[in-house]
Amino acid sequence: MQIDHRELNEVRSAQGKEKVQAPGLSIGVRQLIKRFGERQVLHGLDLDIAAGEFIAIVGRSGCGKSTLLRLLAGLDTASSGGILLDGQPAEVLKDDVRMMFQDARLLPWRTVIQNIAIGLDGSQREIRERALEVLGQVGLADRADEWPSRLSGGQRQRVALARALIHRPRLLLLDEPLGALDALTRIEMQRLIESIWKQHRFTALLVTHDVSEAVALGDRIVLVEDGRITLDEAVALARPREHGEALFAQRESRVLKRLMTVEAINNRNQIRGRISEIVVDSVLSEVRILTASGLVTSTVLTRSLSEQPLEIGAEVLATFKSNEVVLAT
């Protein structure tokens, strides 16, 4: 018994040391290009991430989010451009990167604990000890010896999270890991991921289709469009962020609006010009823009005008949408 305890303490202190040595990885992505045959998916993507940052990535389906993550994880190679992790080529630190997929990808023929132990070396006992510890962190210690097929979707994702955590990753890539979960389980998982991230201080990249999830977790929200980053917005809200709070809701709707605005900007439906006149009214205001092809009038909410003031003479981009026109300075 005595020996057991001492060994356990040694393991613990070793882990403690590792934690100090191994905070998050910093990431530098430069002019990243990825082609699949004829189709180019990433068009010279640039992205810098500080060690320990939590980045939420959003963007339309097919814009290249998973491709970016797979390149970061070393599961695929870039056509050109480079990825630096802590200033070194990505291959060097490949073992410090772990990925969590949308589907849990547990081996059905291995029990929960065997799944977590995958790719680990060491004595059976030590591995089991560590696996039980991470299982405890995700709240599933009592399910260690069950088959994955007996778990619910959310529990499977928690096992997948534990499997990633046991490797003490310095960069954790999360590719829509919560997409298939119901709203309540998802919020619960978000809190879990956040608390584990706070504890371990790894760098995290989370791909999500849920803006509120991005606002809840991200230090920054990055929008990927057509293989480029078109928006990079810091979220300066204190953690933990409560979904019901006014500040949170305000932030969420602002980000959503920005996303929609930026998404609307493409060459087909925009026109450059200069503001010539602003007519302010109680609810709706009108902004007149002088463009090369004449005067354009845009109706905007007076409230958004006060939030994002415009000046006469400013260069703007008028964007046409089927149901509304928005302005971007």
Tokens representing 12 are: 């613990």
Please report how the helices 153-165 and 183-200 are oriented relative to each other, as an axis angle in degrees rounded to 10.
10
For residues 2 and 153, what is the distance between their CA atoms, to the nearest angstrom?
40
For residue 63, the partner it binds in Mg ion, other proteins, ligand ATP, none, with Cβ less than 5 to 8 A by kind, is: ligand ATP
107 near other proteins, rule: CB under 8 A: yes
307: CB partners within 8 A, 6+ apart: none
The residues in 6-65 that bind other proteins, with binding defined as CB under 8 A, are: none
**Residues, the chain:** 329
Tokens representing 153 are: 């979707």
Where does this chain touch other proteins (CB under 8 A) — which range of 57-65, 123-131, 146-154, 281-289?
Answer: 146-154
CB 226 within 8 A of CB 43: yes
> Dihedral through CA 120, CA 197, CA 183, CA 156, nearest 10?
10
Where does this chain touch other proteins (CB under 8 A) — which range of 4-12, 60-68, 71-79, 127-135?
Answer: 71-79
92 near other proteins, rule: CB under 8 A: no
For residues 195 and 137, what is the distance between their CA atoms, to the nearest angstrom?
10
For residue 147, the partner it binds in Mg ion, other proteins, ligand ATP, none, with Cβ less than 5 to 8 A by kind, is: other proteins
Residue ranges binding Mg ion (CB under 5 A): 66
Chosen residue from 34, 41, 45, 98 binding other proteins by CB under 8 A? 98
For residue 41, the partner it binds in Mg ion, other proteins, ligand ATP, none, with Cβ less than 5 to 8 A by kind, is: ligand ATP
Identify the H or E element spanning 288.
Answer: strand 284-291
Give me the least distance between CB of 223 and ligand ATP, in Å please: 11
Residue ranges binding ligand ATP (CB under 6 A): 36, 39, 41, 59, 61-67
Give the CA radius of gyration of the chain.
Answer: 24
168 near other proteins, rule: CB under 8 A: no
Q: Which residues bind other proteins (CB under 8 A)?
A: 73-75, 95, 98-99, 101, 103, 105, 107-111, 118-119, 147-149, 163, 167
